[in-house]
Amino acid sequence: MKKFLLFLFVISSMLSAEENENLKDLFDACMNSNSSPNYYGAECTIVGKMFEEGSGAKKSTKTALKIYKRGCDIGEGKSCAKAALFYSKGLGGAVTNKEKSMHYYKLACSGGGAISCFNYGVYMKRKGMVKKAIPFFHKGCEIGFGPSCNMIGGIYFNGDGATKSTLFALDYFSQGCDLEDEKSCTNVEVAEAELEEMESTGVEDGVDNIEIDG
């Protein structure tokens, strides 16, 4: 509680009278949003950005990070994504920390951040945890991020830690292409060519076994 009150005091001391008037409602909304049904944390992202960019408030990336983390704590996905970026690049006085960065990307994905879903999926895939990565790529694809569609398509096309299925891969590549992802469009052609070859040689696709991959 003492740390929280000190934080409020420091923020207030950084603002001019005019800035304090302009930020008051947004800042109060951010700090009190967990106790009010009228606020959902978006105000934290707005205020954090103002401090990050020095637009309407004295620039302070350290303060911005604290506010972004506050927003993330109350479920604001965009604030989570910002906190993830800060830890990824060592901004706002934060020491570069991959684990913390990915923690916030995961939270941002839960909040509907498509790129955050992709970033966390890549992280899990690189750790060799492909099956755990798939749901994050799937969500990113569903939300509308083409590279996520391409990534999960590639997993099934190559049988990379999951059941190989060219049909399943083609479906994801097609979704990515519809989202104007160039790599997905290229891979649509590759998958279609492989399916033609499989048909001509009588090779069966593994699509019937996909359920075991979740």
DSSP character string of 44-58: HHHHHHHHHHTSSS-
Residues 98 and 120 in one domain: no
Cα 113 to the center of its chain, rounded Å: 4
Q: Provide mean pLDDT across the span 79-101.
A: 93
Residues 145 and 56 in one domain: no
Question: Does this model's pTM top 0.95?
Answer: no
Q: Which domain holds residue 42?
A: 2-109
Residues 102 and 142 in one domain: no
User: 148 or 208, which is more confident?
Assistant: 148
Is the pLDDT at 17 greater than 60? The verdict is no
Q: What is the CATH number of the domain that holds 147?
A: 1.25.40.10
Residues 157 and 93 in one domain: no
pLDDT (0 to 100) of residue 40: 61
Which of 109, 138, 171 finishes a domain? 109
Residues 28 and 93 in one domain: yes
Q: How confident is the model at residue 31 (pLDDT cuts 50, 70, 90)?
A: confident
Based on the number of CB atoms within 10 Å of its own CB, is 16 exposed (0-12), middle (13-18) or buried (19 or more)? exposed
Cα–Cα distance, 103 to 155 (Å, whole number): 23
Residues 102 and 157 in one domain: no
Q: How many domains does the chain have?
A: 2
